[in-house]
Structure 1
Amino acid sequence: MRKPILATAVLVSIFPAAGGASAKSPTVPLRDVFEAMGAKVTWTAASGRIEIQRDEVTLRFQTGSGTAYKNGTAVVMDTPVTISASGKAMISAYAVYPLAKNYKKERHYLVQKGDSLWSVALKYGVTVAQLKSWNGLKSDVIQAGQHLTTVSPWYIVQKGDTLYSISGKTETTISALKKANGLTSDRLSEGQKLTIPAAPSVSAPGMLVEGTFPLMGRTYLPFGDTYGDARMFSLGQTARVHEGNDMEANTGVPVFAAWDGKVIRIGWNTYGGWRLTIEADNGIAMYYAHLSGYADGIALGSKVKREQLIGYVGSTGYGPEGTSGKFISHLHFGMYDTNSSWKPLNPHPYLKWWETR
């Protein structure tokens, strides 16, 4: 079986997994991975210094060093940045998510037990008055599980903007934008002021509440619940339904493990293309499909840690091995209960909860 690889990787190591770092931790190409997430990467080969800018996150690395700097704060990695035989700077698959994640500047915040408007305002560098205005709050009382918009919910239409492009920039949907602004058509005017609707409150799922959303913020478009939808492509023309949720993203965008587990299935599947199934200790299997390739360190039987980079978004599947481009590039994410004969579960409530963390 051929294993597709986005880029050749070598073995080294980063943020320690449970029980300590492996002597041969998986690594991935630093530039390729961060540029796929929309970051600007500058590498000065003479000095070995690498700088990355993505949104409000600035990262600095030194080849050969195991310390990174995130917005000026030193972060100790479990392995230094190394150079592969092909001349690529390599970083541990465990390091990408915690370094790239913009924890303090996310558009939404999910209220935790013990939070107050004052504590949330302090965390995000805004005022209580702004939080109340942006979220339409009439009092200072907030509750665990409530969503708060942490940036201005207004958007000024720029030349070339469409409802589709604005929905992607602001993490909402076209229908929600039209409803919030009383729009009866898709037509926009330059300079028009739009209200960006706040995310609805989401209830915690009954398990896996500490899971990680499998894509980094602002690398994918807003998504809905497509679980149970009919699917046209089928072997033998047998009717089938969609057993997961789809998140549209560009080919090559990094995919991260939602939970710790063990790789129990990997390789080509006619429907899922290059797919990966990781089973958690509680018997819930998580299915990542249509990948363009796997990250280094991913193989049948390998142990995977939550937040580990495991693969890359693609459009593979719906045909013999190697078929791609039959549909828009996206990640299909499914969940199955192996304790109940692989009963499919709707992953949408889990994904929407993880998305806010």
Structure 2
Amino acid sequence: MKKSLFLGMALAGAISFTAASNAEAAASQTYRVKSGDSLSKIAHVNKVTVSQLKQWNNLNTDVIHAGKTLYVKKPAAQATASSSKKHIVRSGETLSAISKKYAVSIDKIKEANHLKSAVIKTGQTLIIPKAAPVKPASTAKKPASAKAASPAKETYYIVKPGNTLSAIAKLFNTPVQEIKRLNGLKSDKLLVGQKLKMTEGVLPVLGEGVFPLEPGSYQSYPDSWGNSRSYGGSRTHEGIDIMAKKGTPIYSVTDGVIERYGWNELGGWRLTIKTKENFRIYYAHLDQYAAGMMQGGTVKKGQYLGTVGDSGYGKTGTKGKFAPHLHIGVYNQSFQAINPYPFLIFWERK
């Protein structure tokens, strides 16, 4: 009789403990997986579906491991999914670039996608939380005595233990050679604590520009500005060449007016677009123009201009003298050539 009573009390205690544990798990937003747990069991206890658990925790399979923390209620970051966007990671994209594109902090994106680091993969789908409302800019005129806007600041990185030049280059989506150029490095050797310059400042007058080619449609490009050229006489290169397949779409860096259009012996089929600040952006060696391109016509930032080609270095219509590429030049208000490379790097990372 006593034995039966003892067993009954023990069983009741176990049931009471289990019920309390289940109730606690159901009340919490997260649950730490225990040995023997399964998604279906956790879903049943928390009165949700397995599909919901997988969605809230970015799971591709039903396999879970003891010690893993799962959301068992819809995370707050996903509760606003109706006002959020989805972004599929493209080749070469970084979390920093995506953060800037949507004006949402890296931490917010990591929180919404349960990311423990800034590492993302091509093809990965990310939830982009709604950005905070932007306060309208003041319409008041700037006093005549106000100072001009300062150039964009450079970006630096402090070398950490275990870092390599190639790993840092991948983190910033930039070529190793570009890091070496910016820092005057002659080898790939780094020192812990070393301060590396990752980007150069860009004149604010073109800071809102966009990169002229789509991500993944072109090859990495060196700084070839100022290199010697022989066709048409001894001269220096007044632009940057970005190698891409013939037919690759080209887009306008900024708003502007088409100042020059048509054939040029050196540039082939080319366009010169004058910006509202009286800078000129020069696009050369096109294969075709987009419909509607004409001298005096207006274009908008990001507008399709034509395609990459290999035209130039001869009489009208000459093609095939070199590999297809986009030659892009930047000229200031005095029509003096300036190096486009820092601008391209800046636009590419935006």
Normalised by the length of structure 1, the TM-score is 0.50
Q: Percent identity?
A: 33
Equivalence for 1:304: 299
Equivalence for 2:277: 282
Cα offset for 1:120? 4.3
Q: Using the alignment, how far apart are the partners of 2:348 and 2:198 within structure 1?
A: 12
Summarize the alignment of residues 220-299 of structure 1 with structure 2, pairs less than 5 Å apart: 220-234=218-232, 237=233, 239-299=234-294
Provide closer, same or farther for how the CA distance between residues 176 and 225 of structure 1 changes in structure 2, counting only shifts above 3 A.
Answer: closer
Picking from 302, 325, 334, the partner of 1:330 is 325
Q: Using the alignment, how far apart are the partners of 2:320 and 2:114 within structure 1?
A: 44
Give the aligned length. Answer: 211
Q: Using the alignment, how far apart are the partners of 2:252 and 2:271 within structure 1?
A: 10
Picking from 316, 324, 333, the partner of 1:321 is 316
SS of the residue 1:207 aligns to = helix
1:353 maps onto 2:346 in alignment: yes
Provide closer, same or farther for how the CA distance between residues 175 and 347 of structure 1 changes in structure 2, counting only shifts above 3 A.
Answer: closer
Cα offset for 1:260? 0.4
Cα offset for 1:351? 0.8
Quick one: which amino acid aligns to residue 265 of structure 1?
R
Q: Using the alignment, how far apart are the partners of 1:251 and 1:336 within structure 2?
A: 25
Cα offset for 1:305? 0.4
Cα offset for 1:107? 3.1
Provide closer, same or farther for how the CA distance between residues 209 and 177 of structure 1 changes in structure 2, counting only shifts above 3 A.
Answer: closer
Question: Is there any run of 5+ residues in structure 1 with no aligned partner, and where?
Answer: 1-72, 74-99, 135-143, 149-162, 184-197
1:200 maps onto 2:175 in alignment: no
Relative to its length, the structure with more helix (as a share) is 2
Summarize the alignment of residues 212-223 of structure 1 with structure 2, pairs less than 5 Å apart: 212-223=210-221
SS of the residue 1:326 aligns to = coil
1:209 maps onto 2:207 in alignment: yes
Provide closer, same or farther for how the CA distance between residues 108 and 333 of structure 1 changes in structure 2, counting only shifts above 3 A.
Answer: farther
Provide closer, same or farther for how the CA distance between residues 282 and 174 of structure 1 changes in structure 2, counting only shifts above 3 A.
Answer: closer
Provide closer, same or farther for how the CA distance between residues 293 and 223 of structure 1 changes in structure 2, counting only shifts above 3 A.
Answer: same
Q: What is the RMSD of the two structures over their aligned residues, measured on CA atoms?
A: 4.1
Cα offset for 1:303? 0.5
Measured against aligned partners, the alpha-carbon deviations of 1:160-189 in whole angstroms (never above 9, x if no partner) come to xxx9xxx99x9654758999x979xxxxxx
SS of the residue 2:310 aligns to = coil
Summarize the alignment of residues 1-357 of structure 1 with structure 2, pairs less than 5 Å apart: 106-107=93-94, 109-110=96-97, 116-122=105-111, 125=113, 127=115, 129-131=116-118, 146=155, 173=175, 200-234=198-232, 237=233, 239-337=234-332, 339-340=333-334, 342-357=335-350
Cα offset for 1:205? 3.0
Asked if the contact 2:268–2:312 (Cα under 8 Å) also holds between the matched residues in 1, the reply is yes
SS of the residue 2:317 aligns to = coil
Measured against aligned partners, the alpha-carbon deviations of 1:254-312 in whole angstroms (never above 9, x if no partner) come to 00000100001011101000000110111101100000010011111101000000110
Quick one: which amino acid aligns to residue 344 of structure 1?
A
Asked if the contact 2:92–2:216 (Cα under 8 Å) also holds between the matched residues in 1, the reply is no
Measured against aligned partners, the alpha-carbon deviations of 1:113-170 in whole angstroms (never above 9, x if no partner) come to x9754124247x462x322899xxxxxxxxx87599xxxxxxxxxxxxxx9xxx99x9
SS of the residue 2:198 aligns to = coil
Q: Using the alignment, how far apart are the partners of 1:126 and 1:232 within structure 2?
A: 55
Asked if the contact 1:205–1:349 (Cα under 8 Å) also holds between the matched residues in 2, the reply is no
Provide closer, same or farther for how the CA distance between residues 279 and 176 of structure 1 changes in structure 2, counting only shifts above 3 A.
Answer: closer
SS of the residue 1:118 aligns to = helix
Q: Which has the larger radius of gyration?
A: 2
Asked if the contact 1:247–1:331 (Cα under 8 Å) also holds between the matched residues in 2, the reply is yes
Q: Using the alignment, how far apart are the partners of 1:300 and 1:333 within structure 2?
A: 18
Provide closer, same or farther for how the CA distance between residues 126 and 223 of structure 1 changes in structure 2, counting only shifts above 3 A.
Answer: farther
Question: Is there any run of 5+ residues in structure 2 with no aligned partner, and where?
Answer: 1-81, 122-152, 158-165, 190-195
Q: Using the alignment, how far apart are the partners of 1:145 and 1:103 within structure 2?
A: 25
Q: Which has the higher contact order (CA 8 A, sep 6+)?
A: 1
Quick one: which amino acid aligns to residue 248 of structure 2?
V
Equivalence for 1:63: none
Equivalence for 1:96: none
